[in-house]
Amino acid sequence: MSVLDSIIEGVREDLALRRKSLAQMHEEMSQAGAPLDAHLALAGSDISVIAEVKRSSPSKGSLAPIADPAGLAEIYENAGASVISVLTEKRRFGGSLDDLDAVRSRVSIPVLRKDFMVDEYQFFEARAHGADLVLLIVAALSQSQLKDFFDLSSELKMASLIEVHTEDELERAMEISPRIIGVNSRNLKTLDVDSATFTNLIPRIPADLIRVAESGISTRSDVDLAHRAGATAILVGEALVRAGDPTLAMQELRGQR
């Protein structure tokens, strides 16, 4: 079983424990505010930053305790982040829907629910907890699931970040006419990072799409590499949560220092 398979197995087990009726989810969705426009937030002329609230990862283990996820998200917003990413997977990443609730209540920019979305229920759940954007990992989904989940997200007025790791996955992603594609340089089977993934795949993405570079970005030179490849946004977690001063780290990534 690959790391990805193991994570998804745990996601399904945890989901079974918290599943509510769809009628109850629709009631909770009706109380959530209208989704914010993640496409607009990421469409600036400069490279945009999706800043992540991330306590741990399968590759690095514990990263930071993050007792106040909303406070950290507010720092990110004030430092110029365009979107806040919140890990809600518990077993490997130490996240929760409570973190998503806390962050959504504090920031005024779009929020990404970053989880392994493998069940229709999770999309209603994401919207009920205030998510404006969800992650769809091509490697984790069949083509029919990818299309159905993308369409469901659109129906719920949420944007979708379509994550790819290989040329084949990028071809599959393009079949659903996405607006945001993320290229993850981390191999989800081995957890190794190869920045050549950016230079190989991002130039293949049409220029009218939002192109996000994910994983392995910790310095301004990493940002420059991704930007030269054609990235219009970066998603950064580890480098920010491990930084003693998240504001300073954001400024360095954005080339302001």
Nearest to 137 by CA among 118, 153, 110: 118
Residues identified as active-site: 52, 54, 114, 163, 184, 214-215
185: amino acid identity, one letter: S
Integer CA distances (angstroms), 10 to 5, 86, 151, 240, in order: 9, 18, 25, 26
Nearest to 57 by CA among 92, 9, 91: 92
Tokens of 55: 């306590």
Cα angle 225, 218, 251; round to 5: 95
Question: Around Cβ 192, how many Cβ atoms within 10 Å?
Answer: 11
> CB of 85 within 8 A of CB of 51?
yes
159: amino acid identity, one letter: A
